[in-house]
Structure 1
Amino acid sequence: MNAITRIAAAVSLASLLPLALTSNIAVAADAPSKGTIEVLHWWTAGGERAGINVLQKLVEKDGYTWKDNGVAGGGGEAAMTVLKSRAVAGNPPGAAQIKGPSIQEWGELGFLTNLDDVAKANNWDKILAPQIADIMKYDGHYVAVPVNIHRVNWLWVNKPVFDKLGIKAPTTLDELYAVSDKLKAAGIIPLAHGGEAWQDSTVFEDLVLSILGPEGFHKAFVDKDEATLTGPKMVQAFEALKKLEGNYMDPDKSGRKWNDATGLVMTGKAGMQIMGDWAKAEWTAAGKKSGTDYECVPFPGTQGSFTYNIDSLAMFKLKDPGAIAAQQDLAKIALEPEFQTVFNQNKGSIPVRSDADVSKFDACAQKSQADYKAAAAGAGLQPTMAHGMATSPAVEGAVFDVVTNFANDPKGDAKKAAEQLAKAVMQ
């Protein structure tokens, strides 16, 4: 199925237009403006919202109007539904939060505009690592701008709770189980979690990385190797998922948002959370400090590996000269040191610029950058499957179904789930 068929098949215009028309679009107050840029995104949680507000202020400082279209929910699924309906209707926003293979699909459809002039004027080829620059291009031309690098394979720990119980952050899966048993015995939820498909798959891919290693992870989700996808270690990863979901996550997790799960750890109702570093933005927004209120450690067994998730803004073709000027200004600002620093400090991620100075960032970010560079020197740097960097949206959705159905089925068979995973990935 080609990209245009996938996009068209995913959208029923009649049913989605009301969603697009009623989405939460905050229009700037009437004032003289050099042009307007509408930005569709799903940065709506506390720390994320603070980060995107910085970009808005910088664009407005340059004399342009920012039209905000923040769509919460589903790890971006709701926002993508709105975007597809808008595109089919011939009314796409000027910029939209898109990442990974999806950028190539939108480029293939002819929706995205050429940013090469902005990129050349601002030395993007020099400040971006080649593997990141390639993701931002379609047919050799820049069509999107990256804003950060997230690490997915993190474990977040409530330090006062651990100190009180005399336990330390786990470094292996066996230690994770042992620590979880002690938290459970103390009446504390071991693992805060939200029962959404993307959250289940985030936990699952961390288990795959831990059990199969970065080479096995790559063979499974990038190379789509059937033997790896159905092998005994993948079966073991599913069994580990069942153990975590069944024994150490609370039964009220269904439908819980990821940031609400972070809140459970923050308040001491839960001891840990398996989540990418956007979770740190919630701790920062609440005034909490790493090393004092919480600890960030690689998910047990994934030390030396780094699953990355790059947020980016893809730029859509526009006709109005003012809107085009605003769009180019947004693209320029997104990679400038001022925004890169402030945004990533709020967002929990690290700057995408290779020359970024993180000396004023917190300890978690400094560790993340060091681990990123070390992982990039070998096989440890891998694109996340659960967050749209390793697979197409169609494959990702199929994997989500397999993982979540297994996680919620008390009688789920791990070997059968691995076989279903192979079919999902290899479609």
Structure 2
Amino acid sequence: MKIRSLAAMLAATVILPFAAAHATDLEVTHWWTSGGEAAAVAEFAKAFDATGNKWVDGAIAGAGGTARPIMVSRITGGDPMAATQFNHGRQAEELVEAGLMRDLTDVATRENWKDIIKPAGLLDSCTIDGKIYCVPVNIHSWQWLWLSNGAFEAAGVAVPKNWDEFVAAGPALEKAGIVPLAVGGQAWQAAGAFDVLMLALGGKDRFYKVYKDKDAEVAAGADVAKVFKAADDARRLSKGTNVQDWNQATNMVITGKAGGQIMGDWAQGEFALAGKVAGKDYSCLPGLGVNEVIATGGDAFYFPVLEDEEKSKAQEVLASTLISPTAQVAFNLKKGSLPVRGDVDLAAANDCMKKGLDILAKGNVVEWVDQLLSADSQKQKEDLFSEFFANASMTPEDAQKRFADIIASAD
């Protein structure tokens, strides 16, 4: 589990001469624009620039829901960037099938990605018809409830240890003028919060029945109805959030204006940037303190097919750099995510990251919804839960019926 300096030196001797001979600028698009995310992606840029090439940053504000259509439009419109972020899974499936994404199998084979990328499902999500089309760069898990220790102290209640205790603390937080649960206005936040509730309260088997097997009968059943009841609680507790972006909602927790937030581990980057200490200033409940299972979703980079030979060669250098041990550690410590390599030193990991590493080591993992549903099915689900959280007149029963219909036609 240690980065060996000799290995790092050898990696450098492989990359640098090649890069120096073909130094070029590469535009890289992504949606990492919050303070913590920007600090993390700067580590990738620094590592790539060190090869003699130049990372030309193409950040697109507004998170994935806003950025992905822009990225796809550029690629299909004949104006591709050199590399672009997607969540590893099915988001780039149609682009790959259209022959617009570069096959990275040769690079992956040369650098033994199948041996170093853990768990294996990460690389499987980059593989279509036996060929590898992306490089996973992190393991992001959605299944966290982030808590402001100061907010609960101000409300005179103990920091919750699970979802039920959190819901029970809601009235005390509200009495103290604190929003219990911060949920931003972007559709993916509401849908993601529901999916977290589905896994934590419904359990792994039921989660897979709905999202992997597309079992509409289970989606319409009594057990999932309990998840919709919890989503109704979350909707009620989030009233008064009044922010749009996820990092604005995270900032409410950081500043004690909100008691908690259901959000992925990327929220840690914001806590770190604000100088907050895990276990002291804030607490974290993996699996909402109910079911300590995390998803092995996350981010990956795809490389559009380019006509420029020099840029094509530099794409290989970038792919190699993103997966290198030093870049993996530097990026993920700032991003709040876990590295995709199992051979790196994470002694500097904080209390919450260590919880994630422990769960990962035990194998308590699942594929996430991005890996199980098509982009179209995901969009339908996001639209439903955006409306559900914004419209208190929509009953949990009505929402569940619409949800079951989406699952029935999902691909």
TM-score (structure 1 length as normaliser): 0.86
Aligned amino acid, residue 45 of structure 2: Q
Which one-letter code corresponds to 1:178 in the other structure? A
Question: Contact (CA 8 Å) 1:171, 1:299: kept in 2 or not?
Answer: no
| In the alignment, structure 1 residue 382 sits paired with structure 2 residue 366 | yes
The answer to whether the Cα contact below 8 Å between 2:179 and 2:241 also exists between their aligned partners in 1 is no
Counterpart in 1 of 2:25? 36
- State the Cα distance separating 1:166 from its structure 2 match: 4.8
Determine if the alignment matches structure 1 residue 304 to structure 2 residue 295: no
Assess if the C-alpha contact under 8 Å between 2:32 and 2:61 holds in 1.
yes
Unaligned runs of 5+ in 1: 1-31
| Residue equivalent to 1:226 | 216
Matched, 1:203 2:193: yes
The whole-number CA distance in structure 1 between the counterparts of 2:110 and 2:72 is 31
* Structure 2 residue corresponding to 1:396, chosen from 378, 385, 389: 378
Q: Which of 137, 143, 146 in structure 2 is aligned with 1:147?
A: 137
CA distance in structure 2 between the aligned counterparts of 1:343 and 1:273, rounded to whole angstroms: 23
Task: Tell me if the contact between 1:103 and 1:136 (Cα under 8 Å) persists in the aligned partners.
Answer: no
Paired residues of 1:198 and 1:400 also in contact (CA < 8 A)? yes
* Aligned counterpart in structure 2 of residue 61 of structure 1, from 28, 50, 53: 50
Task: Call closer, same or farther: CA 1:392–1:108 in 2, change over 3 Å.
Answer: same
Q: Which residue of structure 1 lines up, in the alignment, with residue 12 of structure 2?
A: none
2:122 counterpart of 1:138:
no
> 298, 318, 324: which is aligned to 2:306?
318
What are the residue-to-residue correspondences of 1:26-175 with 2, within 5 Å?
Answer: 34-73=23-62, 75-99=63-87, 100-128=89-117, 129-175=119-165
Task: Give the Cα–Cα distance (whole angstroms) in 1 for the partners of residues 158 and 276 of structure 2.
Answer: 19
Which letter does structure 2 place at the counterpart of 1:148? Answer: N
Over residues 289-344 of structure 1, what are the superposed CA-to-partner deviations in whole Å (9 max), with x where a residue is unaligned? 11121111124354321123210001111121221122111100111111110100
Q: 1:419 aligns with which of 393, 401, 405?
A: 401
SS at structure 2 position matched to 1:354: coil
Per-residue deviation, 1:88? 2.4
How much is the aligned-residue C-alpha RMSD, in angstroms?
Answer: 1.8
User: In structure 1, how many angstroms separate the alpha carbons of the residues matched to 2:357 and 2:218?
Assistant: 30
- Please identify, of 338-347 and 55-64, the stretch whose mean Cα deviation from structure 2 is larger: 55-64
Native 8 Å contact 2:151 2:257 kept in 1: no
Higher alpha-carbon deviation: 153-162 or 332-341? 153-162
SS state at 1:101 partner: coil
CA distance in 2, matches of 1:130, 1:145: 12
Aligned to 1:21: none
One-letter amino acid matched to 2:367:
P
> Contact 1:236 / 1:414 at 8 angstroms: preserved in 2?
no
Aligned 8 A contact 1:398 1:425 in 2: no
Question: TM-score normalised to the size of structure 2?
Answer: 0.90
Provide the rounded CA distance (Å) in 2 between the counterparts of 1:319 and 1:256. Answer: 39
* Deviation of the 1:161 alpha carbon: 2.9
**Is contact 2:41–2:331 with CA below 8 Å preserved after alignment?**
yes
Q: Distance in 1 between matches of 2:31 and 2:94?
A: 20
Runs of 4+ in 1 over 3 A off after TM superposition: 163-169
Give the Cα separation in 2 of the matches to 1:244 and 1:207: 9
User: Quick one: distance in 2 between partners of 1:276 and 1:252?
Assistant: 18
Q: In 2, distance between residues paired with 1:281 and 1:300?
A: 19
Q: Secondary structure at the match of 2:229?
A: helix
2 CA distance for matches of 1:168 and 1:309? 32
Indicate if the aligned counterparts of 1:345 and 1:361 stay in contact, CA closer than 8 A. yes
Partner of 1:406: 388
Cα distance between partner residues in 2 of 1:243 and 1:361: 33
2:18 match? none
Aligned to 2:271, the other structure's residue is in SS state helix
Structure 2 runs not aligned, ≥5 long: 1-20
How far apart, in 2, do the equivalents of 1:77 and 1:399 lie?
13
Aligned equivalents of 2:380, 2:348: Cα separation in 1: 41
Instruction: Name which of 255, 264, 276 aligns with 1:288.
Output: 276
User: In the superposition, relative to structure 1, how do residues 270 and 252 fare at CA in structure 2: closer, same or farther (>3 Å)?
Assistant: closer
3-state secondary structure, aligned to 1:67: strand
How many matched pairs?
Answer: 387
- Give the fraction of aligned pairs with identical amino acids, expressed as a percent: 34
1:252 Cα deviation from its structure 2 partner: 4.6
Q: What SS is found at the alignment partner of 1:93?
A: coil
Q: CA deviation at 1:269?
A: 1.2
Tell me the CA shift for residue 173 of structure 1.
3.3
Report the counterpart of residue 7 of structure 1 in structure 2.
none
Does 2:220 correspond to 1:238? no
